[in-house]
């Protein structure tokens, strides 16, 4: 660990942001261990996302103003008291969103949208199934899926999580067990499930959830492994 200099005065198209929150994501740990696709030259700040208050802007900046709370664009590293970022890539956060929540808006919600859009063309009332249903990316997936009128099966490992996940709008919540596949088939009335999202096969040291995702409710289109890329 070394001290680095404070950022300079922003250039014409930059903004200086005083950081409020910068979360720790799985991708940050990969970068710190030198196994991520980004390889900044040491010494370097790291950190993939965060939120802060605009402290100064360059003379050509019109997209943000001093005092705005903004999220920081990817590749502008955030584990620092202050950061310089291209102003055009800052996203102004509404006052109703607190800094801690804002700091996690860039990666996981975007990942959730891509997972729902990039593999299968889903239509309203289609079913999706996902495990690690209490994880942050899963919560983003659930919220976006329900806004699109999709039906959601969520898999968890502890029964005490069922009420909480149901309150998120999940149509059926099941606990990992030998009976889970059959329970999902009953809950979906055997309807084919176009998309299954598996997040856990390496992080919890097994493949049981993956098996259930592949066999539940006649999953017949696409099973996508998300571990190591989304932070679930």
Q: In order of start, what are the domains of the chain with their CATH numbers?
A: 14-105 (3.90.180.10), 108-225 (3.40.50.720)
**pLDDT for residue 219:** 52
Could you give the CA distance from residue 76 to residue 73 in angstroms, rounded to a whole number? 6
* Element holding 182 (H helix, E strand): helix 180-187
- Give percent of the chain above pLDDT 90: 78
pLDDT single digits (tens) 181-204: 999 999 999 999 999 999 865 433
Q: Is 205 left (phi over 0), alpha (psi -120 to 50) or beta?
A: left
**pLDDT for residue 199:** 83
pLDDT single digits (tens) 126-160: 999 999 999 989 999 999 999 999 999 999 999 99
For residue 175, which phi and psi values (nearest 5 degrees)? -95, 135
Look up residue 108 and give its DSSP letter. H
State the virtual CA torsion across 58, 59, 64, 67 in degrees, nearest 10.
Answer: 70
pLDDT single digits (tens) 14-34: 999 999 999 998 889 999 999
Which pLDDT band holds residue 1 (cuts at 50, 70, 90)? confident
Residues paired with 71 in a beta bridge = 51, 91
Centroid of chain to Cα 1 = 28
Q: Is the pLDDT of residue 228 over 80?
A: no
Of residues 67 and 231, more confidently modeled? 67
Angle between helices 208-215 and 180-187 (to 10 degrees): 30
Could you give the CA distance from residue 40 to residue 123 in angstroms, rounded to a whole number? 41
Could you give the CA distance from residue 14 to residue 29 in angstroms, rounded to a whole number? 28
Could you give the CA distance from residue 210 to residue 214 in angstroms, rounded to a whole number? 6
pTM value? 0.76
- Give percent of the chain above pLDDT 70: 86
């Amino acid at each position: 660990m070394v001290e680095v200099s404070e950022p300079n005065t922003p250039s014409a198209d930059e903004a200086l942001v005083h950081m409020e929150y910068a979360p720790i994501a799985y991708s940050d740990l990969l970068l710190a261990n030198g196994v991520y696709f980004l390889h900044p030259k040491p010494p370097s700040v790291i950190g993939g996302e965060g939120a802060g208050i605009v402290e100064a802007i360059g003379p050509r900046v019109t997209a943000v103003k001093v005092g705005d709370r903004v999220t920081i664009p990817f590749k502008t590293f955030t584990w620092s008291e202050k950061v310089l970022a291209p102003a055009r890539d800052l996203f102004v956060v509404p006052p109703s969103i607190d800094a801690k929540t804002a700091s996690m808006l860039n990666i996981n919600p975007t990942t959730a949208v891509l997972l729902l859009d990039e593999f299968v063309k889903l239509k309203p009332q289609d079913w999706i199934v996902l495990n690690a249903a209490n994880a942050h990316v899963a919560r983003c997936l659930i919220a976006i899926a329900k806004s699109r009128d999709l039906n959601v099966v969520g898999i968890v490992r502890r029964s005490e999580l069922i009420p909480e996940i149901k309150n998120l709008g999940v149509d059926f919540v099941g606990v990992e067990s030998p009976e889970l596949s059959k329970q999902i088939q009953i809950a979906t009335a055997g309807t084919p499930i176009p998309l299954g999202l598996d997040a856990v096969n390496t992080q919890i040291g097994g493949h049981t959830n993956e098996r259930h995702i592949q066999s539940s409710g006649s999953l017949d289109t696409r099973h996508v492994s998300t571990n190591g890329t989304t932070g679930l």
